[in-house]
A and B are shown apart, each in its own frame.
Chain A
Amino acid sequence: MDESLEQAVSEICDQYNNDPTRLVDVARAVQARLGHVGNAAMDAIAGNLGIHRVEVESCVSFYSFLSTEPKGEVVIRLCDDIIDEMKGSSRVARAFRKELGIDFGETTPDGRISLEWTPCIGMCDQAPAALVNDVVLTWLSSDAARRIVRELREHMDPQKLVHSFGDGNNAHELVRAMVDNNIRKAGPVVLAPVTQGDALHKALSMSPAEVIREVKTARLRGRGGAGFPTGMKWDFTRGSDGDRKYVVCNADEGEPGTFKDRVILTERAELLFEGMVIAGYAVGAETGILYLRGEYAYLRAYLEHVLDDMREKGLLGKGICGRQPFDFDIRIQMGAGSYVCGEETALLSSCEGKRGDPKTRPPFPAQKGYLAQPTVVNNVETLCCAARIFEKGSGWFAEIGPHGSPGTKLLSISGDCSKPGVYELPMGVSLADVLDLCGARDPKAVQIGGASGRMVGEDDFERSVSYDDLATGGALMVFSHKRDILKPVRKFMEFFVEESCGYCTPCRVGNKLLLQCLERIMAGKGVPEDIEYLERLSENIVTASRCGLGQTSPNPIRTSLKSFRVAYEDMVQEPEGALRPSFDLGAALAEAEKIAGRGSTILNE
Chain B
Amino acid sequence: MSDTFTFTVDGVEVAAEPGQTILEAAQNAGIYIPRLCHRDGLEPAGACRVCTVMVDGRPQTACNFPASEGVVVDNETDQLLELRRDIIDMLFVEGNHWCMFCEKSGDCELQALAYRFGIAAPSFPFQFPADRQADLSHPDIWIDRDRCILCGRCVRASRDLDGKHVFDFVDRGPAKRIAVNAEARLRDTDADVTDEALEVCPVGALMKKGTGFDVPVGRRTYDWEPIGSEIEKRQTQE
Contact = CB atoms under 8 A, between A and B. Distances in A.
A546 B87 CA distance: 13
Contact of B173 (A52, A53, A508): A508
Contacts of A146: none
A544 B83 contact: yes
SS class of chain A's interface: helix, strand, loop or mixed?
helix
Nearest to B159: A52
Interface residues of A, number: 37
Interface stretch (A54-62, A269-277, A456-464): A54-62
Nearest to B36: A505
Contacts of A509: 90-91, 93-94, 127, 174
B115 interface: no
Indicate the member of B79, B165, B167, B180 with the most A CB atoms within 10 Å.
B165
B55 to A, nearest CB: 12
A311 B120 CA distance: 67
Interface residues of B, number: 43
Interface in B160-201: 165-176, 179-183
Given A55-B168, A540-B86, A502 B52 contact: no
B171 A62 contact: yes
Contacts of B167: 54
B90 A505 contact: yes
Contacts of B180: 54
B35 to A, nearest CB: 12
B46 interface: yes
B139 interface: no
Nearest to B189: A54
A58 B171 CA distance: 7
A15 interface: no
Interface stretch (A5-13, A177-185, A237-245, A493-501): A493-501
B119 interface: no
A543 B74 CA distance: 14
A497 B174 CA distance: 7
B56 to A, nearest CB: 14
Contact of A543 (B45, B47, B52, B150): B52
Interface stretch (A284-292, A510-518, A561-569): A510-518
Contacts of A516: 125
Contacts of B207: none
B137 to A, nearest CB: 15
Interface string A524-554: 0000000000001100100111100000000
Given A360-B46, A537-B86, A543-B52, A355 B182 contact: no
Contacts of A338: 172
Contacts of A52: 165, 168, 181
Given A500-B174, A543-B59, 14 more contacts: A53-B181, A55-B165, A58-B169, A62-B172, A338-B172, A355-B169, A360-B64, A502-B172, A502-B176, A503-B47, A504-B48, A506-B86, A513-B124, A544-B87
Interface of A: 39, 52-55, 57-58, 61-62, 338, 355-356, 360, 362, 497-506, 508-510, 512-513, 516, 536-537, 540, 543-546
4 interchain residue pairs of minimum CB distance: A502-B176, A509-B90, A54-B181, A52-B165
